[in-house]
Chain A
Amino acid sequence: MNRRRWLIKLLLAALAHRTGRTLLLLSVLAMASSLATALGVVSLSMGKRVSEEVRKYGANLVVVPAAARLEVGSGGLNFGAISDPAYLDQGRVEKALASGGLKAERSFHLRGALRMKDADVLVEGVNFADVRRLFPWWQLRGGWPGPGETVVGSDLAQRLKLKAGDTVELTGTAQTLKLKVSGVVVTGGEEDDLFFLALPELQGALGLPGQLTEVRLLVSAEGDTLKDKAAALQPLLPDAKVREVRQIARTSEGLLAKVKLLMTLVTAVVLISAGSSVTGTMSTTVLERSREIGLMKAIGGTRWEVLLIFCGEALLLGVVGGVVGYLLGSGIAVFITRTVFSAAPEFIPWLSAVSLAVSLFLALLGSVGPMISVFKLDPVRSLRGE
């Protein structure tokens, strides 16, 4: 029989002989590597998602009334609040932008509630020309609206059973609008829950001529200069707040950071305790098996050959622990992202290498001490039972 095959058979027999201890070691290793995997999956896939959200937002500066709070994000990453009724003056904003010398694409938004039949619906007034330019990810089923027409968010359309060509009646404080639905918009974001109509029409309906709730700016600048631009614009708009979108995304980034920190701490604690429990278990095993080790040496095994057998055991445990840990860790990651971010994580195959490495590292590092005693063990004494 092949030497290597025999060695593996020997290792398996030895591990199977101590089923409880083997399972304990395996679960410790799998636990540690699964946490490392879960940490990796969560931080990688959620980090990517957060930055995607930011990019999706299109604009990189947002001007809102000073009293208002922002609402941003979509899906599971919706951290905003409905804004207080406070408004920006369209004319002043335009003047400020002009005098600030800011080269920016802009889009004006007015958000408000209109009554439809006997329920309130959220309506946003926009300039569709700006929308088409700034938010190219809008997928419109149907056509872009002309005067007297509206676009419905897909979720809302489904709820109200609306489709292109239908007519809706929306009542505001000032007047009632009869609008034809020209299309249904899908963005995968909060837009899916809104009505969109031309800004002047909504201003008319709400009786807020020239008022806005939000201005989105796409400033062609990056990093720090964006911050500078925001700071430069702020004094020109005393009753408004200029914010970077990154700042908004920071909320979700902050949550992610907290989850990551917590997981890192847990992982660190588990890694340390796993390492020490591997050491403990391995030491006991080696102690218990000292006669066996002595015998192997007495019948002609060199110190290295005997060491190889015991290292092989650790290695085998490490590999199995790593594989199990990867599977388990992916599961934990799914659980965490579902509950915290209500989003599905990505499947990241290369993290299996990380998981394997963590498990192997722990298994080998934990057994360094016991292995030294295996190496040094004196066959005469151990056979005599000392």
Chain B
Amino acid sequence: MTVPTIQTAGLTKGYGDICALKPLDLQVAEGEWLSVMGHSGSGKSTLMNLVGGLDRPSGGSLSVGGQDLSALSEDGLARFRREFVGIIFQQHHLVPYLSAVENVMLSQYFHSVPDEAEARLALERVGLGHRLKNRPGELSGGEQQRVCIARAIINSPKLLLGDEPTGNLDHKSTVMVLELLKELRAEDRFTVVLVTHNEEVAAWGDRTIYLDDGVLVREERLRS
């Protein structure tokens, strides 16, 4: 049996007095597509930040890809993020003064060395071969999100995290982005964790968990 990509036991996170995440036991297998559903404030973003190494748990154990994240230093977490995780944001968060290809190269820069040819290929993979030199301001929402995906997968992460990746997109773009993610996953075999409040988006996954007020209330397996 393979080691699960994400394994938590009694994972909690509190901000001051507020408990954002009640003790949570979760396992995500390698290559699985997990959708996390819940209302805003239900703790789903908190879970994503913890799993992505952006934040530290208040209690419990959290291991991602076999690494115990609570044991890592601040810089160790950064190194974990750049080698292991690709993140897609709702607001894209592209650097406004860099072109599409340069935005992808920024990720390469922090990971190791920039390689423009490879960054171009990644953009071609997400279907943006014709918009390499455009800045984010000149791209549509769907295109920006595809740059974001190219940036997230450029370092061959084992885990792709999406924080409402389609939240700002119309229906057509949403389907395109999710289709793209599906294709990429089929090729690169990374694990996907998507946080969403959209049932339709969640339906693309293998499994959906429902969080409410920091508690896992329901789990639904769609396919295995």
A residues whose Cβ falls under 8 Å from a Cβ of B:
1-3, 6-7, 10, 13-14, 16-17, 291-292, 294-305, 379-380, 383, 385
Contact with A along B36-62 (1 / 0, CB 8 A): 000000000000010010110000000
Q: Is B146 an interface residue (CB 8 A)?
A: no
Q: Is the CB of A3 within 8 A of B109?
A: yes
CA distance A297 to B74 in the complex (A): 10
Interface residue ranges of B71-100 to A (CB < 8 Å): 74-75, 78-79, 81-83, 85, 87, 89, 91, 93, 95-98
**Nearest neighbor of B113 in chain A, beta-carbon distance:** A3
Known: A294-B93, A299-B151. 7 other contacts (CB 8 A): A1-B105, A1-B115, A7-B109, A17-B96, A291-B93, A300-B79, A302-B75
Within the complex, the shortest CB–CB distance from B102 to chain A, in Å, comes to 7
Q: Which of B49, B95, B102 has the most CB of A within 10 A?
A: B95
Judge if B12 is at the interface, Cβ distance under 8 Å. no
Q: Which residues of chain A are near B95, meaning CB under 8 Å? A: 292, 295
- Dominant SS among interface residues on chain A: helix
Measured as residues with beta carbon below 8 angstroms from the partner, the interface class of chain B is 20 to 34
Closest to B157 in A: A300
Tell me if B107 is interfacial: C-beta within 8 Å of chain A: yes
Q: For A295, list chain B residues within 8 Å (CB).
A: 93, 95
Q: Are B98 and A299 in contact (CB under 8 A)?
A: no
B positions within 8 Å CB-CB of A = 49, 52, 54-55, 74-75, 78-79, 81-83, 85, 87, 89, 91, 93, 95-98, 102, 105-107, 109-111, 113-116, 151, 155
Q: Is the CB of B97 within 8 A of A380?
A: no
B106–A302 contact, CB under 8 A? Answer: no
Residues of B within 8 A of A6 (CB): 105, 109, 114
Check if A1 sits within 8 Å of B113, measured CB to CB. yes
Tell whether A300 pairs with B114 under 8 Å between CB atoms, given A17-B96, A17-B97, A380-B55. no
| Shortest Cβ gap from A316 to chain B (Å) | 15
Chain A residues with CB below 8 A from B83, complex form: 300
Q: Are B78 and A302 in contact (CB under 8 A)?
A: yes
Judge whether A10 and B98 touch: CB under 8 Å. yes
Decide: A298 and B54 in contact? CB cutoff 8 A.
yes
Q: How far is the CB of B215 from chain A (nearest CB, A)?
A: 21
Is the pair A3, B114 in contact by a Cβ cutoff of 8 Å?
yes
Given contacts A17-B96, A299-B106, A299-B151, contact A383 B114 (CB under 8 A): no
